[in-house]
Amino acid sequence: MPLLHSCKTDDLPQCIFPYSRSNDLTPTHISWQPSANAGTHHTDRYANTELTVRRGQAFTITLYFNRPKQTGESLAFVTEIGPAPSESHRTKAVFNLSEVGASGWSAAQGPSESNYMNFTISSPANAVIGRYNLTLQVTSGNKIFSRFLGQFVLLFNPWCPGDDVYLADENERQEYVLNENGIIFVGNAKYIEARGWYYGQFQDHLLNICLTMLDLSLYYRQDPAIDVSRRGDPKYVGRVISSMINGNDNDNGVLLGKWQGSFHSHENPSRWDGSVVILQKWRQDNYKPVQYGQCWVFAGVMCTVLRCLGIPTRLVSNFNSAHDVDRNLSIDKYYDSSGKSLNISKDSTWDYHVWNESWFIRPDLGTSYNGWQVLDATPQEQSRGLFQCGPASVRAIKEGDVDLDYDTLFVYTEVNADCNRWIVYNDGTKKRVYCDTEIIGRFISTKAVGSNSRVDVTRNYKYPEGSSEERRVYKKALAKIFGSNVTEGHTESPDGRSSETVRNPGISGKFKLAEPPVFGKDITLILVLNNLSFDHKTVKVDMSASTVLYTRRAVAEILKAATSVDLGSKQEKHIRIKIPYSYYGKYLTTDKRIQVTALCEVMRMHGAKLLVEKTIILEDTNIIIKIPRRVVVNKAVTLEISYANPLPEPVNRCVLLVTLMNQQVKIHLAQLAPRERSKIYFEFTPRRTGPLQLQVDFSSDKFSHVKGFVTIAVAPA
């Protein structure tokens, strides 16, 4: 038997048929040539053993026969996918050797010997993706018989210019398709933090899980044949996946979301450091939704799935992200007359929201809308009956084309809505005390190509705030929503209730931190009030502080205070506020956020009020990871991991989780005294070169999920 090429054991020919006594031309063995094919198709890192290739690009197989092919015998191949393959649905193709069929599939014979033949098979650049059956059809005279050869998986191909997902830049392909390590930006607009995330799109079972996900969708259940036939379209696949990452439609989705209350007996969303363990748990639990996720978890898992299927995808974080339920381009938040936040509005503004962008063309909209498309798996609202969102063209969002498919208006409001604050009086009347047209959609961020740096992509989504272009687009969006005769300022009376706008109070105010806010320490704030006029003013100040979630939903009120301040002509005064650890410690969530408000009423000005607001993120005591200057593949390396108790009281049940790729080590630690710092040494052996992300998660009985990560460059031996 001739050697085809230098190969691994899985390159050796596989027996596909028992010995046949017939003299018909019959294949006996097949070599899928996995090493050669995987290398040229950029699929060599997938852990699955079956042939995995990309569409629009040729792959090679070798067939061994029971005898040489004779004159008068001809060969053809048949590819089939889905439960009811048909040529009309483009889920079945029959193509003769050396002929390009109407389907776009083709096969050609390469250099061959008497007992084997090499074949090059090519798929069209718009072929349906998924797992195919491959069959050989032998024709001899008027006799036709078929032999099943096996299965292979076909993926989207960002390296193929004819593919809808084609991405021209190789560095971007390496980042958005092949990189298994990610960075998610969280925090708030004034305190952006980086969090590590392991996508692991090539790990064990992941490809099969992603293909199964498509088959579990409600789209597939409604019409399997049509659903499979549409899987050549990345916008369709992206939309289906956005519906399947969440489990809100009783569709065996991957994750259930939860933003408040106890996570008892299930996983706190902050516990997750990557997608692989979530997807494998979903599979092990027979595709029952994993509990629980929040926006960055939904986005991280969807990025894994889309990269696994070959669609270039990245995570994007939008700071001060709006959820405009009534679609009036206004986010309305309500406070009582003492300044306490009221959870009565369906609208909300999250400190940050994470979604995905995927790269593909939009022939349904026109070439100007090609490029990055927003997909969002977080279940906020239904779109056409399902919890799904996108793809919405980023270009369409920037240009205010809110009537275009899919869910462009929803995403437009997330980055462009106005922000209104209202006082609700005991009689139910409302007065607007604040309107900000620029605060929503700030510092829209994504990971840089080839590094862990943050790249600001705000200008991809909107023109500069206050510019003539931004106002033009805003008016255009309003006209598309409400009709061409609508003007700005139409949002002043929410819910049709009696309301009015509070008059200008003639003062300004802001909160300043006296020192960085550190978890475990007292927080000192200064309310700075300025009299903007020459007139003397007496200002009544009602202050309130509450622990909140990153969605800004209040958890517990921890401070309430009132005072009065006299402001002379153009005078500035400072009011010092202290929030002790004993006030907030037991009410803080893993989001570690406190929102402080001051409602400032100028006396004898008939209700002139100023609302001042600030969200504080408490800084964790750093986890410090020290790595050697040089780390070499297949050589043991020791890291120093330092962790601390930031509290003025001892902590017990200390646990350190160290995650490297998909491997996690749980280390139980001794109790820590107040403010104590300790360290451990952690040894591992890297098994491949390139970037490797190591993540650390520290928890105790008094706090949980303090995070740290480091990216290690593993050098060749």
* Least confident range of 174-178, 435-439, 698-702: 435-439
How is residue 175 annotated by DSSP?
Answer: I
Tokens matching residue 679: 């360290």
- Active-site residue, from 353, 401, 407, 591: 353
Phi, psi of 270 (to 5 degrees): -70, -15
Using one digit for the tens of pLDDT, what is the confidence trace for 165-208? 999 999 999 999 999 999 999 999 999 999 999 999 999 999 99
* Among 433, 352, 440, CA closest to 601: 433
Measured N-to-C along each axis, helices 295-309 and 276-284 cross at an angle, to the nearest 10 degrees, of: 90
Instruction: Tell me the C-alpha to C-alpha distance, in Å, between residue 263 and each of 165, 268, 270, 293, 620.
Output: 39, 6, 11, 11, 21
* pLDDT tens for each residue of 572-597: 999 999 999 999 999 999 999 999 99
CA distance 467 to 449: 29
17, two tokens: 């048929």
Ranges of each domain in the chain: 15-155, 171-482, 507-617, 624-715
Please confirm, yes or no, whether 323 is among the known catalytic residues: no
d(CA 352, CA 230): 34
Instruction: Give me the CATH code for the 624-715 domain, please.
Output: 2.60.40.10
Token match 């989207």: residue? 156
Residue 307 token pair: 């990269």
Binding residue ranges: 416, 418, 465, 470
pLDDT digits (tens, 9 = 90+) for 274-331: 999 999 999 999 999 999 999 999 999 999 999 999 999 999 999 999 999 988 888 9
* CA 654 vs CA 148, 280, 596: distances in Å: 57, 27, 31
Strand partners, 195: 184
- Mean pLDDT over residues 116-135, rounded? 97
Q: Would you put residue 662 in left (φ > 0), alpha (ψ -120 to 50) or beta?
A: alpha
Report which residue type is found at 131: R
Judge whether 507-617 and 624-715 match in fold: yes
Q: Which one of the listed residues 11, 41, 273, 295 is annotated catalytic?
A: 295
Domain topology for 15-155: Immunoglobulin-like (2.60.40)
Instruction: Report the interhelical angle of 234-244 vs 206-216 (nearest 10°).
Output: 90
Give the distance, in angstroms, between the CA of residue 596 and the centroid of all CA atoms in the same chain. Answer: 30
Model confidence at 401: pLDDT above 70: yes
Domain 171-482 fold is Coagulation Factor XIII; Chain A, domain 2 (3.90.260)
Annotated binding site for Ca(2+): 416, 418, 465, 470
The encoded tokens of residue 333 equal 């938040």
567, burial (CB in 10 Å: exposed 0-12, middle 13-18, buried 19+) = buried
* pLDDT band (50, 70, 90) for residue 263: confident
Q: Calculate ∠ Cα 340-343-346, nearest 5°.
A: 140
Catalytic annotation on 295?
A: yes
Right CATH number for 507-617 from 2.60.40.10, 1.20.140.10, 1.10.1660.10, 2.60.200.20?
A: 2.60.40.10
Catalytic residue among 163, 273, 351, 376: 376
**Is 705 noted as a catalytic residue in this protein?**
no
- 676-685 residue pLDDT tens: 999 999 999 9
